[in-house]
Structure 1
Amino acid sequence: MEKRTLHTVLSPRLLDLYTLSDATIVIIDVFRATSTIATALSHGATAVFPVADVEKCKQLGAELNAITAGERNGQVIEGLLHGNSPAEYPSTFIDGKQLVLTTTNGTKLLKMALDQGAAQIITGSFVNLGSVCQFLEKSQKNVILACSGWKDRFNLEDTLFAGAVADQLSEKFAMNCDSTLMAKQMYQLHKEDMTNFIRNTSHWHRLKAFGLEKDLEFCVTPGAAEVLPLYNPKTAALTAAAIS
């Protein structure tokens, strides 16, 4: 039986070079959207509605009586009460509630994948690495690991996560993809001291300036929020899916 394929997209600008209609797309935005989505769902949120537009976030939040949250350039958006910090969504706050979220990079990329006909969309970060790999291994689809980057530019943290996924699934997929090879080898080189390596990244320094270093340390903690966020196109929401 021919192996399924796995490709890594290093920037949203490259997404249209890939066929999405037969693949599971993993939206990756380690700092911090996909880490926050996993955290909220693992703490009992009933749904996360990812939206690309701030006004849409406010409108949908009002319609659903949901929590509205988001950031631009790392800071809470004016007019929204909550930001994109995983620490803002403990179970005591988010359990049983819905969250409408807009971010600089991750929610924008998710919309792009939808517009380009993605067959299936999940979100991934180090905090739910195990759930992502387990789901992809059992899925019958090809896989595209889509890195959100920073305003369409390459970043290290998303690529490292793609490398971690590729490392765990290397026996299950055909990976004739230089981006995946590079990501996997970079992860293998730095996995024993990953936090210190990621401290060198531009996004770490950008968010550290806002006092968010604890957020960043959490976001690179494997297994800190094990859940599988699966996008439902009928509801336009991410919910925690069972992995069977």
Structure 2
Amino acid sequence: MKIDVMISADHINKEEVIGKTIVVIDILRATSVITTAINNGCKEVIPVIEIEEALAIANEGECILGGERKALKIDGFNCSNSPLEYTQDIVNNKRLIMTTSNGTKAIKRCEGAKNILIGAMINAKAVSDKVLNLEEDIVIVNAGTYGQFSIDDFICSGYIIHCILDQNPKVELTDIAKTALFIYKQSTDLSFIKEATHYNRIEELGLLKDLEYCCQKDIIDIVPEYIDGRIK
């Protein structure tokens, strides 16, 4: 078993994801939203890249529209990209149509992979258990921020790798995977995440409770999976 890491949605190499098990990470905040919504009873999440596509799908039946542009709620959408909005009374037994600046793009660009799992800090241990059971080579895809490397996703990658190695120390790591693990070990309290550009953007918007929530470890024990255009 081998683990590799890609640093942003814009760095996804199709040849390196085809037939692989992928873990997509966008902890601030798309994959945290998806994991929370599914955990709270959401029937399925349909990730799309463009706002217009989300609106078109929404016209086909009862659903919730969620997402962001530049970390702000999209006009006409039901919810923003705050996981705290996706409570059980809002999402239970509903479809969520979602579009974000980074996370949904990363998910869609991984199409063709054997498995596409949704990971975040809040379900990292569950993700590690899942990939160990699959016994496949893993590529951890960081959504990043507007095509660029993002500290927050990279540290989350390191934590997932740490959890995997706890159970199987013989797993092979690429150099970038080793680096992610090293960075996490220097900041196991996650304090270094506060240096991330995107973290600071969300902080400037006053969304401190979102940051606190998304930086919690292992509070959810499910692993949503993207199959045929839907996350369940």
TM-score normalised by the chain length of structure 2: 0.94
Look up the SS of the partner of 1:49 in the other structure.
strand
Match of 1:63 in 2: 60
Encode CA deviations 1:185-237: one digit per residue, 9 max, x unaligned. Answer: 1111110x21x32222211110111111110110010122331101111xx21
Q: Structure 2 stretches of 5 or more lacking a match?
A: none
Q: CA deviation at 1:81?
A: 2.3
Query: What's 2:217 paired with?
Result: 222
Task: Report 1:2-81 matches (<5 A).
Answer: 4-16=1-13, 18-81=15-78
Matches for 1:1-244 after TM superposition, within 5 Å: 4-16=1-13, 18-114=15-111, 117-170=112-165, 171=168, 174-191=171-188, 193-194=189-190, 196-233=191-228, 236-239=229-232
Distance 2:197 2:72 in 1: 16
Give the secondary-structure state (helix, strand or coil) at the position aligned to 1:64.
Answer: coil
> Aligned letter for 1:238?
I
Q: Which moved more, 1:224-233 or 1:151-160?
A: 224-233
Distance 1:232 1:173 in 2: 29
SS in structure 2 at match of 1:121: strand
1:6, 1:173 within 8 Å by CA — same for their partners in 2?
A: no
Contact 1:5/1:173, CA 8 A, preserved across alignment: no
**Structure 1 position 48, deviation (Å):** 0.8
Amino acid at match of 2:202: L
| Kept after mapping to 2: 8 A contact 1:24/1:143 | yes
After alignment, is 27-36 or 51-60 more displaced? Answer: 51-60
SS of equivalent residue, structure 1 residue 144: strand
How far off its partner does 1:145 sit? 0.1
Of 206-215 and 28-37, more deviation after overlay is shown by 206-215
Q: 1:17 to 1:69 in 2, by over 3 A?
A: closer
Aligned length: 230
Cα offset, 1:18, TM superposition: 4.9
Residue type of the partner of 1:92? D
Q: Aligned partners of 1:30, 1:176: CA distance in 2, in Å?
A: 22
Pairwise CA distance, 1:173: 5.7
Normalising by structure 1, what TM-score?
0.90
Paired residues of 1:28 and 1:124 also in contact (CA < 8 A): yes
Residues 131 and 138 of structure 2 are in contact (CA less than 8 Å); yes or no, is this contact kept in structure 1? yes
Percent identity reads 29
Larger CA deviation: 134-143 vs 7-16: 7-16
Closer/same/farther in 2, CA of residues 176 and 39 from structure 1, 3 Å limit: closer
1:137-177 alpha-carbon deviations (Å, 9 max, x no partner) = 10032110000110110011100011011112123564341
Alpha-carbon offset, residue 130 of structure 1: 1.7
Can you give the 5+ residue segments of structure 1 that lack an aligned partner in the other structure? Answer: 240-244
